[in-house]
Structure 1
Amino acid sequence: MAEKRQESGASVKDAELYEKLRDEGNSKEKSARIANAAARTSRSEVGQRGGEARDYPDRTKDELERRARELDIEGRSQMIKDELIEALRKHG
């Protein structure tokens, strides 16, 4: 498996998976984290290890605000649910 150097200087162990995740709209950080985890084990095993998190649209506005607070997203208290979801997805 070829390594790929990212702009930050960090290497990604599974460049193909990294590019696929980026094309799907994932952040650089999240894509690198998943690609490197997959390279350490297997791609299917990484998906099975995931947590119990629900999709953002399935969460309440209060839950979304709480998560945005954890991530220190500015302006979260003024956002509607759809804006919170968009901000959380962009944050990665």
Structure 2
Amino acid sequence: MPNPRIKNEKQYQALVEKGYSKEKSARIANTPDAGEKGGKARPYEEWTKEDLLKQAVKVGIKGRSYMNKKALINSLRNN
């Protein structure tokens, strides 16, 4: 049964099946541009470190305050 609090149920289920926790899957599936494709978002290299840190908070990356911009980009792409 679909959860009304999940904005992108299909993406949420795919993430859970991939092994992500339910909490992390929900956070990712509930981001404003979740699951949208088409190059609308700027590449992470164009983001400020502050913006990268905010995104890292949204997706729950631990140790982010110690990371430089390159490490933040790598963590965001691989989590």
- TM-score calculated relative to the size of structure 2: 0.51
Q: Which amino acid aligns with 1:57?
A: E
Identity between Structure 1 and Structure 2 (%): 40
For residues 25-44 of structure 1, the aligned pairs below 5 Å read none
2:67 to 43, 55, 79: 79
Structure 1's consecutive aligned runs of 4 or more residues displaced over 2 angstroms after TM superposition are none
Give the total of aligned pairs.
47
Q: Which residue of 2 aligns with 1:89?
A: 77
> Which structure has the bigger radius of gyration?
1
Counterpart-to-counterpart distance in 2, 1:75 and 1:89: 15
Q: Which residue of 2 aligns with 1:55?
A: 43
Let me know the Cα RMSD of the aligned residues.
2.5
Note the residue ranges of structure 2 that are not aligned, 5 or more in a row. 1-16, 19-34
Relative to its length, the structure with more strand (as a share) is 1
How far did residue 53 of structure 1 move? 1.4
- 1:65 paired with 2:63, answer no
Note the residue ranges of structure 1 that are not aligned, 5 or more in a row. 1-7, 10-36, 38-45
- TM-score calculated relative to the size of structure 1: 0.45
